[in-house]
Structure 1
Amino acid sequence: VRLGDVARIELGLVEDRTFFRGNQEPMVGIGVIRQSTSNTIDVADRVKALTAKINPGLPDGMAIKESYDASVFVQASINEVYTTLFVSIVCVVFVIYMFLGSFRVMIIPAVTVPVSLTATFIAMYAFGFSVNLLTLLALVLAIGLVVDDAIVVLENIVRRIQEKGETPLVAAYRGARQVGFAVIATTLVLIAVFVPITFLEGDLGRLFTEFALTIAAAVAFSSLVALTLSTMLASKMLTPSTSRPTRLVETVNNVFRSARKRYRKNLVKAVRAPKKVLLAFAALVALSAVFFVNINQEFAPSEDRGAFFLIVNGPEGASFEYISEYMTEIESRLMPFVEAGEINRLLVRAPRAFGSIEQFNSGIAIVILTDWSERRSAWDIMGDVSKKLSDLPGVRSFPVMRQGLGGGTGKPVQFVLGGSTYEELAQWSETLLAKINEDNPGLVGVDTDYKQTRPQIDFVVDYDRAADLGVTISEIGRTLETMMGGRRVTTFLDKGEEYDVIVEGERSEQTSFDDIQNIYVRSDRSGELIPISNLLSITEYGAADQLSRFNRVRAITIDASLADGYSLGEALTYLNGLVDEHLPDEAIVDYKGESRNFMSSGDSILFVFLLGLAVVFLVLAAQFESFVHPFIILATVPLTIGGGLFGLMITGQSLNIYSQIGLIMLVGLAAKNGILIVEFANQLRDVGYRFNRAILSASVIRLRPIVMTGLTTIAGSIPLILASGAGAETRLVIGTVIFFGVLASTLLTIFLVPLLYTLLARNTGSPEDVTRQLEAELPAATRARGG
């Protein structure tokens, strides 16, 4: 008997129950996945070049078209950051010009920007960093920082020329020496703030390590440039005439002179009424705590990444025909978005799985949107898509935006319940789902990964009867596998390629239990064909598709998306509250995906923040040779942090990994103003100024560089706040923190630092005290040795 007499032999697909369409046109999808160490944009460019090379040689009517391309968002974000970088430079240079009043003078601090950034690129190359979104964001933030040291040095030189009548050369020499300590101190503080960020663990640590070290390198180089190149340029380019303000900025200078007089009067009043100022300080700190408690918390801001995924799930055990019908309906409902120009490509696939497909009850639509400038927000489009599909009775669909950090497509809420048995876990999950349905604060598409609804069929073999008839168990199992499913039996070669040989039953005879009556097995004893139905019974039941474990514990995961205005932190707090209230103590709670990143990042950022604060305190203590002066300087940190939190609250933004990094930056920025005042007050005391006069004069004299450096940092953050296009959400949140934090620091620390210095530092000395003591004791020690 030939095989062709009893079987139909054909060269075909392993699985033909799939479809893939783009804008309703049948297609074949080809996916390209980059290796972990490769560059996304480089891979995409090479694929596009190869596509352009292959297309001319394809048959008529066939072409390779670009569909989903992850590099589009990356490239667009980088282009936006380049634009932001340029605008930041312009804003910072303009602020410098408005205060200094001369293009010749403006060039001196402005030149630190290209020099410092070029040196930073050299450091990035040495560190092995790439030019990516985070390193470019670091450079944008560094724009306002790298000019600060040069401004402090230049302002002091100009002041000495104007007030003391020194020549530019002498003023440059003495002025740089006078503020050199403050410049080095602020640089070390900023570096001390950023370096602890490298202690973040996991992917988050690897990403933000590049961010932190890039800023640290830029700040270090800017300090070097300020004390060398800027000082040299000032000695060559400044003249008494260039040091005077021009008509263009006369108004600015007049306003500042008037503000400085009012500041002096108000500062005297504040020092004379310390209780009122300290009470106001305590009230602002308490208000900052209120801001912190009431701000929504999440792992990362929601980004419009230019594409989103529509996940579709049908009933367990649903057929390919069933899901195909629904996917076609979904496709037709979404095509008006394509016609309206908001969706560029609509890719639809069923089933969702790739490779060896065992389930056909799922589908996916990949929605590639048009350019950011040509459409609404992706979140608005996703909301409209959800509404259009909400009345589909046989499937559940929910849109998901690909995550920025981590890159996953899962729902943001992934709440894991662990326990001893799946039966117990199922009861617990049902309890939570019931409570969520009673009072849902903002969870969308709530689901679990444990559903006892997948149809299961058990073939129970009668071992005794099979043995009596001479049929082996392996023969029964192999026959059922072949006829009811399929089995790979061997391979064959064709034109150098190896293919599987698959033996399977006709699908038309696998639709009901009655079809098993037509399957026979041969008895080894008698050689007769025996109906397999005589040797087994059939049991049908529902069971879970999979039994999951998490951290080696039996687990069920509850996942959900979030409604607009409802944060991940609120969702997890709500679910934990339900567990505490309705589940027994032995219930184990854990997290997956973005929820796990959110929970772990909070502890990591807190550790980094406290470590940075401790390192800054120790650095200042070593430089000032005192524990009192660092305390005075860092006492302004709560006010600065409060300003950043206030900005987040009034703009409706969240506390996330980017805003937390911004808050850490504010520690160094807040300390900078205090260093300028405290260090100069110590210098004035060293030259014989009385205590009260020293702190008052230091505060008034240092007001100008404090305001200038504060405004340049604010100016550098404005383009981040006004950002649009790809990646604007992350730039906005960190820009908001810097803008409001530095504004609060500039306005409030100029009063708090002098007051605390007056109250706490009266009996302290300065680093020069030890020098004077040594100079006084050396002659006596020399005479004693000579004697």
Structure 2
Amino acid sequence: DYDELERVAGEVRTIIENTPGGREAEFDSIGKVPMVEIQPERAAMRKFNVHADDLNRLVETALAGKEVGTMIEGNRRTPIVVRLPEDRRMDVAAMEQLPLRTEEGGLLALGQVAKVKLIEQVNQIAREDTQRRVAILINVRGRDTAGFVQEATRNIREKVQFPDGYYFEFGGQFKNLMEAKKRLTIVVPLALLLIFALIYLSFGSIRQAALIFVCVPLAVTGGVFALYLRGMPFTISAGVGFIALSGIAVLNGIMLISFINQLREGGRGVRDAVVEGTLTRLRPKLMTALVASLGFVPMAIATGAGSEVQRPLATVVIGGVITSTFLTLLVVPVLYDWIERKTKQKQNPTE
């Protein structure tokens, strides 16, 4: 029932437009347009010996047109098409007077063998998976898409009574977000696992690989906090930013631990190697963090086309690089010293 479908769509549109964050809601109204309906009368057609094909050809010629010849002007050939004038195609009286020739050569009016009337019919029939549907378009401003959809869904279920066979679902950006989140649940653990495997292959020690991996949550904390400060929701670009941030944090940890290990191989004690290695790597790490942060500032404050993708990514990277830099220089050296001393005590309990 198109009338019922349009009524339900109108109620849903009002609700989502009044949901905080909903802007510019609209839907393609099904609407109705006048159409000419021609119903053949079988008894009259048999009486006058008129075939359905003859009737179809007459109506097709009157409304769609029929090519009856070609006009030649020099090298230009123009087809000659015969049909009713546009203002008479919706005129019931004119349609009823269309001449129809019988097999015996006589002439009849179309109205003698068919009922012609003007009706209102739906303008277009939109379908998806063979089901009729109405698409409601809305922009979400000032809040995250997932939160908006959750609240709108609750409001719709509370306030709209759907007849049997009618239902609603959200698509567009929300659907893409849900699909991307499903992919990220696979990509992120896989990426972290590969990073851990590469670290282990480089150092040959699960202990030091786990120590370097501590840099990841230290960096992620900064990214989450930066999103919170700017009031930004988690988006796909933010997820990509967290993946990139994890790589940056692990790289910083590898460089620090590698340098400390080199000092120990040179004969330094654990504590001396940790202190000297941290102080030596302080300036390069600060310079790297400064350059990385400043490089993402234009993206973080962008307002033009594509800014909705650039800002979350840049915000995550800037916040994560800042916290990762300082926390890595504080937490990782302390943990390294504590773990290596404990390991040494277990290996040499008499010392």
2:135 matched residue in structure 1: 558
Shift in CA distance, 667/703, structure 1 to aligned 2, threshold 3 Å = same
CA separation in 2, counterparts of 1:587 and 1:690?
74
Of residues 84, 109, 120, the one that matches 1:531 is 109
Taking the TM superposition and a 5 Å limit, the aligned residue runs for 1:345-360 are: none
- 1:638 aligned counterpart, secondary structure: helix
- 1:610 aligned counterpart, secondary structure: helix
CA separation in 2, counterparts of 1:687 and 1:491?
98
CA separation in 1, counterparts of 2:100 and 2:255?
93
CA separation in 2, counterparts of 1:490 and 1:603?
62
Shift in CA distance, 591/703, structure 1 to aligned 2, threshold 3 Å = same
Q: Deviations for 1:667-710, whole angstroms, at most 9, x for unmatched residues?
A: 11111221122223333333444434433433233222221211
Asked if the contact 1:456/1:543 (under 8 Å) is kept, the reply is yes
CA separation in 2, counterparts of 1:576 and 1:492?
62
Question: Larger Cα Rg: Structure 1 or Structure 2?
Answer: 2
Asked if the contact 1:643/1:744 (under 8 Å) is kept, the reply is yes
CA separation in 2, counterparts of 1:580 and 1:623?
55
Q: Deviations for 1:177-202, whole angstroms, at most 9, x for unmatched residues?
A: xxxxxxxxxxxxxxxxxxxxxxxxxx
1:598 matched residue in structure 2: 177
CA separation in 2, counterparts of 1:586 and 1:605?
34
Residue 443 in structure 1 maps to residue 22 in structure 2: yes
1:691 matched residue in structure 2: 270
Asked if the contact 1:633/1:674 (under 8 Å) is kept, the reply is yes
Asked if the contact 1:456/1:540 (under 8 Å) is kept, the reply is yes
CA separation in 2, counterparts of 1:620 and 1:428?
58
Shift in CA distance, 429/524, structure 1 to aligned 2, threshold 3 Å = closer
CA separation in 2, counterparts of 1:573 and 1:695?
50
CA separation in 1, counterparts of 2:329 and 2:163?
54
Of residues 707, 719, 724, the one that matches 2:286 is 707
Deviation (angstroms), 1:727: 5.3
Taking the TM superposition and a 5 Å limit, the aligned residue runs for 1:309-320 are: none
Taking the TM superposition and a 5 Å limit, the aligned residue runs for 1:749-768 are: 749-762=328-341
Q: Deviations for 1:570-597, whole angstroms, at most 9, x for unmatched residues?
A: 4433454457666699877666554443
Residue 607 in structure 1 maps to residue 186 in structure 2: yes
Asked if the contact 2:95/2:116 (under 8 Å) is kept, the reply is no
- 1:470 aligned counterpart, secondary structure: coil
Deviation (angstroms), 1:494: 5.5
- 1:744 aligned counterpart, secondary structure: helix
Mind listing any 5+ residue stretches in structure 1 that lack a counterpart? 1-422, 766-787
Over aligned residue pairs, what C-alpha RMSD do you find? Answer: 3.6
- 2:133 aligned counterpart, secondary structure: strand
Q: TM-score scaled by structure 1?
A: 0.38
Residue 469 in structure 1 maps to residue 48 in structure 2: yes
Structure 1 letter corresponding to 2:122: A
Deviation (angstroms), 1:730: 4.6
Shift in CA distance, 650/499, structure 1 to aligned 2, threshold 3 Å = farther
Residue 502 in structure 1 maps to residue 92 in structure 2: no
Of residues 251, 274, 291, the one that matches 1:672 is 251
> What is the identity percentage for the equivalent residue pairs of Structure 1 and Structure 2?
24
- 1:521 aligned counterpart, secondary structure: strand
2:149 matched residue in structure 1: 572
Structure 2 letter corresponding to 1:740: G
Of residues 191, 216, 220, the one that matches 1:637 is 216
Structure 1 letter corresponding to 2:89: Q
CA separation in 1, counterparts of 2:176 and 2:68?
45
Shift in CA distance, 738/508, structure 1 to aligned 2, threshold 3 Å = same
- 2:37 aligned counterpart, secondary structure: strand
Of residues 181, 192, 195, the one that matches 1:616 is 195
Deviation (angstroms), 1:542: 4.1
CA separation in 2, counterparts of 1:698 and 1:728?
40
Deviation (angstroms), 1:547: 3.4
Of residues 230, 233, 237, the one that matches 1:658 is 237
- 1:530 aligned counterpart, secondary structure: strand
CA separation in 1, counterparts of 2:75 and 2:199?
72
Asked if the contact 2:299/2:314 (under 8 Å) is kept, the reply is yes
1:519 matched residue in structure 2: 98
Shift in CA distance, 578/594, structure 1 to aligned 2, threshold 3 Å = same
Deviation (angstroms), 1:447: 4.1
- 2:142 aligned counterpart, secondary structure: coil
Asked if the contact 1:446/1:558 (under 8 Å) is kept, the reply is no
CA separation in 2, counterparts of 1:761 and 1:505?
95
1:783 matched residue in structure 2: none
Taking the TM superposition and a 5 Å limit, the aligned residue runs for 1:312-351 are: none
How many pairs align?
340
Deviation (angstroms), 1:532: 0.9
Deviation (angstroms), 1:522: 1.6
Taking the TM superposition and a 5 Å limit, the aligned residue runs for 1:167-316 are: none
Residue 480 in structure 1 maps to residue 59 in structure 2: yes
Asked if the contact 1:471/1:523 (under 8 Å) is kept, the reply is yes
Asked if the contact 1:710/1:742 (under 8 Å) is kept, the reply is yes
- 1:599 aligned counterpart, secondary structure: helix
CA separation in 1, counterparts of 2:214 and 2:251?
12
Residue 547 in structure 1 maps to residue 125 in structure 2: yes
Structure 2 letter corresponding to 1:636: C
1:717 matched residue in structure 2: 296
Q: Deviations for 1:404-424, whole angstroms, at most 9, x for unmatched residues?
A: xxxxxxxxxxxxxxxxxxx4x
Asked if the contact 2:15/2:152 (under 8 Å) is kept, the reply is no
Structure 2 letter corresponding to 1:737: V
1:403 matched residue in structure 2: none
